[in-house]
């Protein structure tokens, strides 16, 4: 293709990946819940990622790249949704927030660090070196899945968990009820808690991908940075996510504080986003200011991720505690994370267009307060509904399913 078409098709291929991720995530989650084991869906998803990456590697025609990106998005949907559900199955409730913090940390490092690592590898090793790295990562993951033993299978060798096995048998018998249930998707979407969790996760994606699209061009125009500098500007935004597990631990220790943690994170981003407008010219002070503000925004996003990821599992668990047949046989744990993943995928499509359009037509300063307005307004429903309606909280705390 011509040089003039490269940028357009790069954007189109990224959008195709996001669209496939958006469409496939709920489907992958629903199907995964119908399997008794998470092992097979994970293996199939990883093999599919390897196959789709191979299509991109050997592709010499645009049609192969299109198919490869769509296939890659769909297979990534399977791996992420099933992987999150497997973590919930394995980790006890008391440590779920910290475990989800590790997921959030890894996901952010992958999204932000992937382009930088790929660019360095390409510059040093060439085209095939990038794909060799991708194949190696997929291969390691497949090996780890092959040796993995799920908790539900390992429990028969752990005598101290006999009581849990008995409880699972009772719960399973509840699923055999002939009572007709409505769609698992509709049951989840009927919950205002699920709706605000989906929205907040969408906003996280919009914010991160907005920076992904505008920061490289901004530092190039303002500071004259080359591609290396444009990649390194994401380091201040990514490093704070080392603290994701810590914020997850706080969520585990103070369960009722998660609404305040999540809403507070969104509200706190407002001044930091607005202050980005002060970065206007090339000087050392301006560069330090930009990096410092990105670090603070990174900490806000880091404290927001674990409460959202944990909330999805709480919603499913509480509905099943009230009615074991609420979602039918297999439950809806993977489905809930599939829906969340769809929200994130939607954000990856909206974010670059949202920030890019505003910056191009109204400038950097307008874009910063537009993002601040988006996060600030989103904090209100999170404060009111995350974990249950705020003003009904005291009355419902006596119920065993509140947390």
DSSP structure string for 130-171: HHHHHHHHHHHHHHHHHT---HHHHGGG-GGGHHHHHHHHHH
Mean residue pLDDT across the chain: 83
Tell me the CA distances in angstroms from 136 to 133, 141, 187, one per residue in order: 5, 9, 40
Residue 345 dihedral angles phi and psi, to the nearest 5°:
-65, -40
Overall number of domains in the chain: 1
Q: Round to whole Å and give the CA distance between 387 and 94.
A: 16
Phi, psi for 390 (deg, rounded to 5): -55, -45
- Residue 301 included in any domain: yes
CB 341 within 8 A of CB 27: no
Give pTM, 2 decimals: 0.81
Mean pLDDT of 307-320: 88
Q: How confident is the model at residue 381 (pLDDT cuts 50, 70, 90)?
A: very high
Res 187: pLDDT: 85
Q: What confidence tier does 15 reach under pLDDT thresholds 50, 70, 90?
A: confident
344 contacts 202 by C-beta, under 8 angstroms: yes
Of 40, 54, 112, 44, the C-alpha closest to 75 is 44
Per-residue pLDDT of 169-178, as tens digits, reads 444 444 444 4
pLDDT at 4 (0 to 100): 59
Which residues constitute the domain of residue 134? 7-396
The highest-confidence range among 12-26, 117-131, 212-226, 370-384, by mean pLDDT, is: 370-384
Question: Are the CB atoms for 37 and 150 separated by under 8 Å?
Answer: yes
Assess if residue 105 is contained within a domain: yes
pLDDT at 357 over 60: yes
For residue 201, the tally of other CB atoms under 10 A from its CB is 24
Contact 205, 346 (CB under 8 A): yes
Instruction: State the DSSP string of 278-336.
Output: G--S-SHHHHHHHHHHHHHHHHHHHHHHHHHHHHHHHHHHHHHHH-TTSS-TT-SHHHH
Three-state SS at 361: helix
Residue 282: CB partners within 8 Å, gap ≥ 6? 222, 223, 224
Query: Looking at residue 141, which CATH number applies to its domain?
Result: 1.20.1250.20
Model pLDDT, residue 333: 83
The confidence band for 6, taking pLDDT boundaries of 50, 70 and 90, is low
Most confident residue range from 100-104, 300-304, 317-321: 300-304
- 402 belongs to a structural domain: no
Q: Is residue 1 included in any domain, yes or no?
A: no
Give residue-wise pLDDT tens across range 200-216. Answer: 999 999 998 888 888 88
| Residue 403, domain member (yes or no) | no
Could you tell me the pLDDT band of residue 331, with boundaries at 50, 70 and 90? Answer: confident
User: What pLDDT does 160 receive?
Assistant: 55
Q: How many CB atoms lie within 10 A of CB 154?
A: 12
Q: Is residue 141 a part of any domain in this protein?
A: yes
Minimal CA–CA distance to 259: which of 381, 343, 374, 375? Answer: 381
Q: Does residue 3 register a pLDDT over 70?
A: no
Nearest CA to 14 among 72, 83, 61? 72
Please indicate, yes or no, if residue 157 is contained in any of the structural domains.
yes
pLDDT digits (tens, 9 = 90+) for 135-145: 999 999 999 88
Of the candidates 97, 14, 18, 4, the one whose C-alpha atom is nearest the C-alpha of residue 306 is 97
The total of other beta-carbon atoms located within 10 Å of residue 131's CB is 17
Given a cut of 80, whether residue 250 has pLDDT beyond it is yes
Q: Is residue 2 part of a domain?
A: no
């Amino acid at each position: 293709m011509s040089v003039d078409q490269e940028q357009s098709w790069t954007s189109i291929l990224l959008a195709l990946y996001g669209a496939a991720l958006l469409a496939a995530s709920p489907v992958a989650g629903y199907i995964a819940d119908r399997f008794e084991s998470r092992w097979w869906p994970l293996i199939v998803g990883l093999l599919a990622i390897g196959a789709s990456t191979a299509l991109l590697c050997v592709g010499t025609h645009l049609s192969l790249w299109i198919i490869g990106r769509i296939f890659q998005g769909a297979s990534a949907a399977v791996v992420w949704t099933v992987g999150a559900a497997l973590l919930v199955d394995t980790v006890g409730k008391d440590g779920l927030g910290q475990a989800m913090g590790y997921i959030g940390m890894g996901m952010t490092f992958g999204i932000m660090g992937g382009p930088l690592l790929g660019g360095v590898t390409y510059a040093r090793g060439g085209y095939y070196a990038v794909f060799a790295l991708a194949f190696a990562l997929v291969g390691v993951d497949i090996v780890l899945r092959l040796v993995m033993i799920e908790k539900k299978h390992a429990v028969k060798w752990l005598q101290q968990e006999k009581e849990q096995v008995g409880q699972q048998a009772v719960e399973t018998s509840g699923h055999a009820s002939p009572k007709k249930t409505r769609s698992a998707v509709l049951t989840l979407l009927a919950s205002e808690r699920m709706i605000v969790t989906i929205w907040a996760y969408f906003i996280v994606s919009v914010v991160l991908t907005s920076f992904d699209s505008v920061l490289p061009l901004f530092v190039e125009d303002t500071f004259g940075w080359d591609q290396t500098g444009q990649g390194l500007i994401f380091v201040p935004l990514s490093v704070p996510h080392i603290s994701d597990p810590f914020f997850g631990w706080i969520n585990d220790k103070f369960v009722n504080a998660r609404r305040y943690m999540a809403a507070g994170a969104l509200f706190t981003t407002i001044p930091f986003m607005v202050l980005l407008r002060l970065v206007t010219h090339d000087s050392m002070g301006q560069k330090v200011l930009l990096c410092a503000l990105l670090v603070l925004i990174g900490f806000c996003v880091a404290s927001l991720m674990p409460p959202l990821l944990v909330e999805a599992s709480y919603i499913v668990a509480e509905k099943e505690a009230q009615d074991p047949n609420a979602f039918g046989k297999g439950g809806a744990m993977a489905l809930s994370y599939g829906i969340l993943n769809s929200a994130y995928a939607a954000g990856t499509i909206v974010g670059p267009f949202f920030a890019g359009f505003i910056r191009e037509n109204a400038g950097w300063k307008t874009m910063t307060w537009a993002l601040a307005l988006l996060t600030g307004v989103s904090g209100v429903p999170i404060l009111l509904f995350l974990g249950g309606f705020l003003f009904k909280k005291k009355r419902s705390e006596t119920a065993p399913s509140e947390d």
